[in-house]
Structure 1
Amino acid sequence: MAACPVIGYYILEGDLSTATALLFVAGVSDLVDGWLARRFNMGSVLGSILDPAADKLLMTTMVITLAMRDMLPLPLAIIILGRDVALSLAAFYFRYASLPPPKTFARYWDFSIPSASVHPTAISKYNTFLQLLLVGSTTIAPLLPFELGTAVTGMQWLVAGTTIASGLSYVGTGSRAAVKYVK
């Protein structure tokens, strides 16, 4: 989480070498952290909240700063950020709807009271991977001695499609598999 504003700063300053290096370190540390938590059964409620929050903060930072530098099309940035905002609002709703009475502000934010769990859909997992691949490729492309323009453009269209499909997978019949109410 701490690296996000620094990465964003370097992208806005045009120092893509430093931004790419920090993005790589952030990605590797996230993978190691996840592996350690699974390997040594060190998962926690706080970790289950902070890990996806850190991922979303990184993706939001990357999308906004790359769009500000005209390295990512604005319509694609709106699709990516719009899906995330919609899913965040849905998560707040599911938490409230599933919280056992009494529904107070303090109990809403007390995560020791489980009420619902959200499980990523398969398309959402692919979408997250493709989004990370896109922002990484977009950041590193200007540093390479060869052109990635067509590949990056194709990846932008693919990410737009998977982002829309991912968002739709959480509504309607797909939401039954993604959101489980805890009794």
Structure 2
Amino acid sequence: MATRQGPPTPPKLTTTMLPKALLPQRHENIYTIPNILTFSRLLAAPAVGYFVLTQSAVPALALFAYAGITDLVDGYLARRFNQQTVVGTVIDPMADKLLMTICVITLTMNGTLPIWLAVIILGRDVALAISAIYFRWISLPPPKTMTRYWDFSLPSAEVHPTEISKINTMLQLLLIGNAMLLPVLPVGLVETWNLSGVLEGWFYLVGGTTMWSGLSYIGNKDAVKILTKEEGEERKKENVGGQ
């Protein structure tokens, strides 16, 4: 007698049989101490602007100093404990620029900084921000959706500041720090050492380096690196493996 056979067993579904869009994607571990410190700088920036506008010189200077210290600390920790992430390369300069933008706007509003310098600094930052948006979009692997666009744990491009840009960032921070320090110092000290005149000299120095740094990105192939599929996967594996 012929044996009765049951229904055929369906083949097992493996990841190699799934479309690429349905494959599970590995994400970076973005919840690191360096990134948390960077996010705290993002939150501190609006508070600094508020204190500047309300003429609260001491709290404004204290928070600005905190932002500067954490900027150094988070970079050291990321390198020391191998917690560098692609999202860190995005939000770290973002935190710096948010703080700088708010400080420049508020210090210009209260008459500390000249309008022409604010136009140079903010104009350069707007141009770089537009470029960053463009490179993020063209480098994002498909499917290109707004949800995936804002998911910075999906690495697609890395930003590498030029040398003059790093120097300019430091000079801008020193300029803002000096502008915030003057109201805290005794009036006699400011007048004796002509610190107001020194600050005016900083205006022209920072204005020149800001224009120079903006031009340094033009034609510099090392400033923005679009990650290949293999490089993006390698970045995610490194950070997932460190969790």
> TM-score, length-normalised on structure 1?
0.90
SS class of match (1:77): helix
Does the CA-based 8 Å contact 2:89-2:158 persist in structure 1?
Answer: no
Does the CA-based 8 Å contact 2:89-2:159 persist in structure 1?
Answer: no
* Structure 2: gaps (5+ residues): 1-41, 229-243
For the pair 1:128 / 2:149, whether they are aligned, the reply is no
Q: Please, which of 60, 76, 80 is the counterpart of residue 19 of structure 1?
A: 60
SS class of match (1:89): helix
Counterpart Cα distance in 2 of 1:117 and 1:39? 20
For the pair 1:61 / 2:61, whether they are aligned, the reply is no
Counterpart Cα distance in 2 of 1:63 and 1:131? 10
TM-fit CA distance, 1:164 = 0.7
Q: Return 130-139 or 20-29, whichever deviates more.
A: 20-29
Counterpart Cα distance in 1 of 2:53 and 2:153? 40
Counterpart Cα distance in 1 of 2:177 and 2:127? 24
Residue 33 (structure 1) aligns with = 74
The one-letter code matched in structure 1 to 2:68 is G
Counterpart Cα distance in 2 of 1:96 and 1:5? 28
TM-fit CA distance, 1:112 = 4.3
Q: Please, which of 157, 170, 173 is the counterpart of residue 217 of structure 2?
A: 170
**Residue-by-residue CA offset, 1:79-128 (whole Å, 9 max, x unaligned):** 11111111010011112223344433334334344332221001100100
Does the CA-based 8 Å contact 2:139-2:226 persist in structure 1?
Answer: yes
Instruction: Give the structure with the larger helix fraction.
Output: 1
Question: Structure 1 vs Structure 2: percent identity of aligned residues?
Answer: 56
Residue 225 (structure 2) aligns with = 180
Structure showing greater radius of gyration is 2
**Residue-by-residue CA offset, 1:134-170 (whole Å, 9 max, x unaligned):** 0000111232222312211111101111111111111
When residues 107 and 29 of structure 1 are mapped into structure 2, their CA distance, relative to the original with a 3 A threshold, is: closer
Counterpart Cα distance in 2 of 1:109 and 1:51? 16
* Structure 1: gaps (5+ residues): none
1:1-183 matched pairs, under 5 angstroms: 1-144=42-185, 145-146=189-190, 147-171=194-218, 173-174=219-220, 176-183=221-228
Number of aligned positions between the proteins: 181
